[in-house]
Amino acid sequence: GPAGCPRTEPLSGSGQEPLFRGADRYDFAVVIPAGTVECFWQFAHQSGNFFFSYEVQRATGIANSRTILATASDPSGFQLGVSQHVRGQINFLTKETGFYQLCLDNQQNHFGFMQVYLNFGVYYEGFDVENKQPEEQKELNDTLGAIEVSIRKLQLNIFHMWRFYNFARMRKGADSFLLESNYNYVNWWSMAQSCVIVLSGVLQLYFLKRLFNGQTSGRQKC
């Protein structure tokens, strides 16, 4: 990728050194400046389940639109999915090993930034792709086999519960910013209306006072 763009799993400099592994799952919030595109790269092995979900928590600017364009591409540059909404998700199977590109496009908003919460990564069957045992070591009895299947199901359920928890965090953050924005809007609008009411009363009193002053001076001349 371009210089300065983050990669989740950089390759080792020497061929004898092991591959430096990053995390398989990430969740964080990022600020996308106005009129820019922010990209990330996630390393994934072949035959993995890739997931990418996002939600725009807050947006600034004239139109105040929270719609953003999200894309996902494979290591060859082929686009695997597109989503243009306030929130969305892109899921696909990884057919080759390499860095998968995830981009957020805020070019339609030229006057404000967006804060986007991201949750992306990859998971594999059994959640272990590098510690696969040889076939001769997998000849276990029925009890250990059943325990292994149960543990894998438990890990899968825990993983999906972690994803649902992150979805809830996304919505909670977006609702919190929306509530704060509405609170500030109501306070400023109430203050402005109060100032208008007070100003209109002062102006009415001033014009009425001038009217009576003019009538008094006219009678004295007569």
Residue 185 has a pLDDT of 79
**Secondary structure string (H, E, C) spanning the chain:** CCCCCCECCCCCCCCCCCCCCCCCEEEEEEEECCCCEEEEEEEECCCEEEEEEEEEEEECCCCCCCCEEEEEECCCCCEEEEEEECEEEEEEEECCCEEEEEEEECCCCCCCCEEEEEEEEEECHHHCCCCCCCHHHHCCCHHHHHHHHHHHHHHHHHHHHHHHHHHHHHHHHHHHHHHHHHHHHHHHHHHHHHHHHHHHHHHHHHHHHHHHHHHHHHHHHC
Q: What is the pLDDT along the chain (222 residues), one digit of tens a residue?
A: 444 444 444 444 444 544 445 678 888 889 999 889 999 999 999 888 999 999 888 888 776 778 899 999 999 999 999 999 888 889 999 999 999 999 999 988 888 888 899 989 898 875 544 444 554 445 545 666 667 677 777 777 777 777 777 777 777 777 777 777 777 878 888 888 888 888 888 888 888 888 777 555 555 554
Q: How far apart are CA 117 and CA 167, in angstroms?
A: 10
If we measure between CA atoms, which residue out of 76, 104, 102, 106 comes closest to residue 91?
102
Q: How far apart are CA 197 and CA 33, in angstroms?
A: 39
Q: How far apart are CA 16 and CA 165, in angstroms?
A: 40
Enter the tokens of residue 85: 């909404």
What does the CA dihedral 1, 105, 110, 172 come to, rounded to 10 degrees? -120
Residues whose CB falls within 8 Å of the CB of residue 82, separated by 6 or more in sequence, listed in order: 69, 70, 71, 72, 90
Residue 19 has a pLDDT of 47
How far apart, in Å, are the Cα atoms of 77 and each of 41, 44, 131?
A: 12, 15, 29
Residue 105's beta-bridge partner residues? 37, 69
pTM exceeds 0.75 for this model: no
Going from the N-terminus, what domains does the chain have, and what CATH number goes with each? 25-127+143-176 (2.60.120.680)
Q: How far apart are CA 172 and CA 170, in angstroms?
A: 5
Residue 143 has a pLDDT of 66
Residues whose CB falls within 8 Å of the CB of residue 95, separated by 6 or more in sequence, listed in order: 46, 47, 74
